[in-house]
Structure 1
Amino acid sequence: MVLVAWYFFYLAVTPGAEPCYVRELPLPVHTKFVEEHEAVLTALLRQLIPTYLNEASRTFAARLRLREPEPLVYVRVLDPQLSAGLSFGLSEFMVPLSKFQDLQPPGHTVLITENKITFLTLPALAGAVAVWGQGFAVGLVEHAAWLQARQVFYWGDLDAAGLQILNRLRRYCPAARPLLMDAATLAQYQQFQVRATPVAAAVLQHLTPAEQALSTTWPTTTCGWSRSAFRRRPCWPRCKWRARTCCLPIAWTAKSNPLFCLALLRQLFQWLVEL
């Protein structure tokens, strides 16, 4: 324990010292030693080098200014033509958060989803890119300034938690629009409501009046349209249809030549046949 404390003291007093991962400590202890003694070590360092600890951090590694694995953001390019034009030729990829912030992907529309299966089963969309928001971890997009220049949609569970996540997203993307998260959708699929996980009450100042009114539908322990409803066959065709049509207005104005409009009408007819 003294050797470990000495190492952190060394980091505190040595300018330019490069920290490492918890299990990378250059000390004669086994790889899990520090993690197994987090509480004791933190209390000890608070007495020895209190100004070194970053008490505002939530994780042990960040509190001791150690390196941590960077969060990954899962991205799908939903337009096959756009993905074919990328240098790495992939339609799905995960990037470190710092790289995502400077990603500048192609396309004019970004569709952020709450649930992973919804994200993975999105259909092909012209000019669109999908991002898995990972539920309440949607704050990962906070520093992605390139989103401000895109048409952003959010598709989450139609329940109290889903609306709270939409409210959180709008802190960073004020123009984000919900997809299939309205009173009409809830009324149409009432038979698929299931009991949602209760969430604490929150001030939803970034929601519209209609969205705020909808949020009152679910008291702390009521039923909500949770993720299982998205897997139901009766509503899935309409979900895909809404996701596809959300991209049409911008796509239509982006290319106004007759041949493009004809191709777009043909694609529209194919989607109607699928329904």
Structure 2
Amino acid sequence: MMWTTPKELKAQLARLWERGELLRDGVTGNNRFPLRLAVKGPASADITERFDAVRVWATELANTSPLRLEWQEVRHRVQGLQRIPSGGWIDSMDDALGWLGRRREWNRFSSLVEMTRLQNPSLLPWLEKRPLQALELEEEWPRLLAVVEWVRRHPRPAIYLRQVDLPGVHSKFVERHRTVLAELLDLGLLADAVDTAKTGVAQFAARYGFLDKPARIRFRILDPSIHAVAGTSCPDVTLDAGSFSHLAIEVRRVFITENETNFLALPNIPGAIAIFGSGYGWGALAQARWLERCAIHYWGDIDTHGFAILDQLRHHFGHVESFLMDRASLDAHVAFWGREEKPQRGDLHRLTQEELRLYDDLRDNRIREGLRLEQEHLSFGWVRERIDQLLQQD
């Protein structure tokens, strides 16, 4: 039987709740009631062949509270004039909430709306957009409002989140709710209090003018004659990006590698340092403009993302050369070929012709589908030989 049942009518109404539409009305003041629900009833043949079943169906709908039925008169050649349900109506929000068993949630959400309307009405659009999430955050909502109000009163405070002094609010609370707070702060702050160039959860502090822990750069001295730390030969050092940008050491050559073992295993090389790379994102390293005076060799995986990272690094240092990211290195290590699960598909515009040919071969699966060679699989003899070739060019 394809006729609409009370359960299906209730499901139509429930979908409005599940999409947040009913709660949204509590913010906007929209009144969608009386609300018509679609009813699919029997055809003429059903009235002829299943008249008793039709009567039972119509009676069941008529006895469903709080449903108010819309009736259609049908003149049937056998059964005569019949009244058949053609639609269902819910007359009020209270009827809808009662049928769905959602009065308690409605009251809780209404309290959140009233609290927000009194304390910071600029945040009401967030409640309208995310009413179900607001219910989940009911317990935290007063503290979220308090954080927004504090930042509104102290725009771009230039302190650490740990220093925000609010009852019940600590840095972990802010960190846990950064995504929600970012949306609320964007609504609640003046435009000049938000640095829109800083995006994403990782840049939350910078976006709203808080201090953040500095980015750090790890490097190794590869030349024993370079004295970066008194009394230590070839130290492994980590500095904040600002300090690294002012580093005053005699360096002619820089190797950047994404693999820590390779970073640690690189041999002594005259006038050189190694930097432990950070994948996508070179903003911290870009502060060190003294690197422009050095030969820079980037050693990444031979896969599409490796070339994409190289391309991004060249945005900051256009003279970077790839190292061990060539077809010869790939072909010499067939036994270690692996698979790249989610290849990069975009066009890259900062690669050399040779790099671009290999990138296109990998991206377009011309050699093998999803081919990659991770940098740690290159034999160390092969690495030493390439380093020697570089040094012979000096």
TM-score computed with the length of structure 2 as normaliser: 0.56
Contact 2:343–2:370 (CA under 8 A) maintained in structure 1: no
The runs of 5 or more residues in structure 2 that have no matched partner are 1-142
Match of 1:11 among 154, 163, 182: 154
1:146 is aligned to 2:290: yes
- 1:94 is paired with a residue whose SS is strand
CA-to-aligned-CA distance 1:125-179 (integer Å, 9 cap, x gap) = 1111111122223443223211111111111111111111111122222221111
Q: Distance in 2 between matches of 1:222 and 1:36?
A: 36
Letter in 2 for 1:222: G
Letter in 2 for 1:7: W
1:50 is aligned to 2:190: yes
Q: Distance in 1 between matches of 2:341 and 2:386?
A: 26
Match of 2:371 among 201, 204, 223: 223
How far has the Cα of 1:64 moved from its partner? 2.0
Q: Distance in 1 between matches of 2:339 and 2:236?
A: 32
The structure number with the bigger radius of gyration is 2
User: When the two structures are aligned, how many residues end up with a matched partner?
Assistant: 241
1:23-62 alignment, distance < 5 Å: 23-31=162-170, 32-51=172-191, 52-58=193-199, 59-62=203-206
- 1:135 is paired with a residue whose SS is coil
Q: Distance in 2 between matches of 1:78 and 1:218?
A: 33
1:107-126 alignment, distance < 5 Å: 107-126=251-270
How far has the Cα of 1:228 moved from its partner? 4.7
Contact 2:226–2:249 (CA under 8 A) maintained in structure 1: no
Match of 2:161 among 22, 39, 44: 22
How far has the Cα of 1:88 moved from its partner? 6.8
Pick 1 or 2: higher relative contact order, CA cutoff 8 A, min separation 6: 1
Contact 2:259–2:376 (CA under 8 A) maintained in structure 1: no
Contact 1:115–1:135 (CA under 8 A) maintained in structure 2: no
Q: What is the aligned-residue RMSD (CA, Å)?
A: 2.3
The 10-residue stretch of structure 1 (212-221 or 182-191) with the greater mean CA deviation from structure 2: 212-221
CA-to-aligned-CA distance 1:76-124 (integer Å, 9 cap, x gap) = 00011213x6447461101111112222332211111122221111111
1:130-169 alignment, distance < 5 Å: 130-169=274-313
Letter in 2 for 1:95: L
Match of 1:211 among 355, 373, 388: 355
CA-to-aligned-CA distance 1:50-77 (integer Å, 9 cap, x gap) = 3222333223222222111111000100
Match of 1:195 among 333, 336, 339: 339
Contact 2:308–2:344 (CA under 8 A) maintained in structure 1: no
Contact 1:133–1:140 (CA under 8 A) maintained in structure 2: no
The runs of 5 or more residues in structure 1 that have no matched partner are 251-275
Q: Distance in 2 between matches of 1:133 and 1:185?
A: 20
Contact 2:307–2:359 (CA under 8 A) maintained in structure 1: yes
